[in-house]
Amino acid sequence: MKGGGTVLKHYSMRSHLTVTFAIMAMIPILILGSFQVSQITHITQESNRNQQLTTYRLGDAVQDYMYYHRNAVETLAATISASDAAFRTRESLTLKLQSLQQNLAGFSGIYVVDPNSMIKATHNTANDSLIGIDVKERDYTKRVQTAQHTIISSLFIGLEGLNQPAVAIAVPIYKGNKQPDGFVLAVLELTPIKELVTKYDYGKEAYPVVLDHAGKPIYHPNGALTDKLADLSQEPVVADARVQKQGEGTYELSNSKQKELITYKAIPDIDWIVWVSKSKAAVNAAFTESLSITLLLLVVTLILTVLLGSFLAKRLNGTIHALVGYTQRLAGGTFMEPGGKVVPKGAPLELQLLADHFFKMAEQIKENQGALLQLNSELEDRVEERTQRLQDEHATLNAVLESMSDAVVLIDMEHQVVYANHRMAEIFAIPMPQLASMQESALFEHIALLLPERQDELEKLTAGPRVQGTFTVKSGLGKERFMMVSAFQVAREGRVFGRGYVWRDMTKEHEIDALKNDLISLASHEFKTPITSIRGSVETLLRVDAQWEESFKQELLQGIHEDIGRIQDLIDDWLDISKIDSGAMRINPQPLRVEAVVESAMRRLPQQANDMHTQFEVHVAEDTPFIYADKLRMEQVLVNLFTNAVRYNRQHPIIQVTARADEHFVMIDVKDNGIGIAEEHIDKLFDRFYRVDVSSRSQSGGTGLGLAICKGIMHAHGGEVHVASQLGEGSTFTLSIPRFLGGDNGHEQEENHDRR
């Protein structure tokens, strides 16, 4: 049955009975299995504890064995050290060595080594061939001579050990006033150690291992490892034993390639390690067997339960199916006639009563079905009408908010953003998915990063129901935007639902105010000088009490003419700026040769360039493509760049003009040797009224409109202007101008310019 999009699964009575019987049968089996698993776990833990205790006993036994033998050798060395020269003859030393050999078993050879590392006495007089053997290259010789105290060697093979794997105890001997006089060398047999190690019961499939300080096996069930002096120091269990001293863990040994449970102990006095290892499979065998038996019983029980449940539930299940069929017919609109039988004869009393109640309910449903259908139809119409009205209102509100030029964000009572228009994401450079899931605090933190100052003012926006403030926000390009924000509570009928913030971009208004101020300042400054000059010249000419020479009058009139020209140039610049701002600048593009435009611009330079002996270096290849541009406007751009190159120059001006082309544009580079431009001025160089501070120069800084007009002219052509400069090393201005394509492409190019 489906309801509300959720699928509910129902099972037959037969299935329910079968599951019930299965659960009742499985419970005792699971309890029994759990008890058995618990018992086996306890036995396994007890076995592990016994293995650990055996390991510790083995370590103590090996330590005691080595202690007795080391103590005996040290006693012998002390006796020799206390003897004078008369008792250090070979015969006397041999008797002492034989005494130790007879009193303490386990030595395969006992020797006295002189200070020159030569064997000079042995307990075995029948084997004098070892007398005079040099053992200075032995590890134990180097160690005992360096340490001057008792050392126990690592496993080795040599003549002194009868060419069998052996371990030696070396104890220094002295003469006189503690002067080294060689050492006693006692070679231990490994057989007694093996008998000592193997006498313990380690349990089924467990074995012991004894390693010396170098990681070589003193005893290992794989005797080949001892015979070839194998190095087991890299085994992980050895590293753990060095650090932990004693413990247990699961390891995979390099010679067994299977996981093993190992208990280990380090013997501190001799730096040996003992461990007892048992395969993990043997440890888990009993547990696995018990689990298998439990699972087998569980499967058999389930099979028997299913068979028994099916048999017992068969009759009851038939009655249930009849009742289900009746309810399905009711759902399809088929009503039983009075006196009909819903369930078969012999059905349980409870099911018969249930069928009677269904019959009465069906009659009642039949009577009210028409009214319910009518009511449902009316309700659906009302819901649909209300839903459509809400959707229309929501769409209208959303369209209004998205159409606003202001940024809008709404915050709920949990301080979570619930709505923000695209203008909000655009102003603060936040992706819409991220903005829609932000907390109010995270949003303010992001906005605070864009505020060069007054970051604490953001907190005041939440101080009251209605708060206003103004902020300066840095855009992604580093430019400042002036914002006014209005914060308000979203409330209705005294209930507050959250807060809203409306951010209005006041940058344009601010720029207009700044432009007005700059314009007034420029007009008062730039007009004052020529007008004052004109007024002075006119007043001079109007004096009736003076007779002026004709040449002087011409000079005054020429000055008036030049001042009027400067005023006219300033007015023309203002008109060009106005056209650029309003998008009314029109150009008349035509195919032009780059060299011709450059030469024409050079001829239009003011007299100042000639007075400073400006040098031009024009390098334009003959195959340079034509440009598609307005001749007068391009000359205006070049004249401005040439004039600036002369004006901002402290030496003999040199202007280099080169041209290059790509698939769509011709690039004209204008390079000068002037004073250069500081890096902090480059980004604002093309802004209106922006003038670099040249108060320390003798030249005028200009009006600050020339490069802004150049940029507007280039944009009107569909091109660009860029500058690269270093202070004191001159500047390079690059003009990117569309190249003339020619043919049908030329007509298409003209149409594109007309549309612009």
C-alpha to C-alpha distance for 353 and 342, rounded to whole angstroms: 10
C-alpha to C-alpha distance for 133 and 117, rounded to whole angstroms: 8
C-alpha to C-alpha distance for 117 and 134, rounded to whole angstroms: 6
Residue in this structure with the two tokens 């979203």, named with its chain if needed: 490
Query: Which residues 6+ apart lie within 8 Å of 200 measured at CB?
Result: 54, 57, 58, 208
C-alpha to C-alpha distance for 302 and 627, rounded to whole angstroms: 92
Q: Where are the alpha helices (DSSP H) in 406-549?
A: 422-427, 432-436, 440-449, 507-526, 528-541
Residue 208 · residue 115 · CB < 8 Å: no
Low-confidence ranges of the chain (pLDDT < 70): 1-14, 17, 33, 36-37, 42-43, 127, 161, 281-287, 290, 309-319, 322-323, 326, 330-348, 351, 452-457, 475-479, 511-526, 607-611, 690-703, 743-756
Kindly report the length of the chain: 756
293: left (phi over 0), alpha (psi -120 to 50) or beta: alpha
| Beta partners for residue 733, in sequence order | 670, 723
Does this model's pTM top 0.75? My answer is no
User: For position 529, what pLDDT does the model report?
Assistant: 74
User: For position 722, what pLDDT does the model report?
Assistant: 93
Cα dihedral sign, 539-544-549-551? positive
Amino acid at 346: G
pLDDT tens column, 674-729: 888 888 888 878 877 766 655 444 444 566 788 888 998 899 899 999 999 988 88
C-alpha to C-alpha distance for 378 and 375, rounded to whole angstroms: 5
C-alpha to C-alpha distance for 137 and 117, rounded to whole angstroms: 9
Q: Can you list the domains of the chain with their CATH numbers?
A: 45-282 (3.30.450.20), 404-505 (3.30.450.20), 512-575 (1.10.287), 586-755 (3.30.565.10)
pLDDT tens column, 477-526: 556 778 888 888 888 887 888 888 888 887 777 766 666 666 666 666 66
Residue in this structure with the two tokens 């004096």, named with its chain if needed: 543
User: For position 5, what pLDDT does the model report?
Assistant: 46
Closest listed residue to residue 325, CA positions, set 368, 279, 358, 350: 358
583: left (phi over 0), alpha (psi -120 to 50) or beta: left
Residue in this structure with the two tokens 């030393």, named with its chain if needed: 93
What is the biggest distance separating any 2 CA atoms in the chain, rounded to whole angstroms? 155
Closest listed residue to residue 189, CA positions, set 216, 158, 164: 164
Strands 217-219 and 246-252 turn out to be unpaired
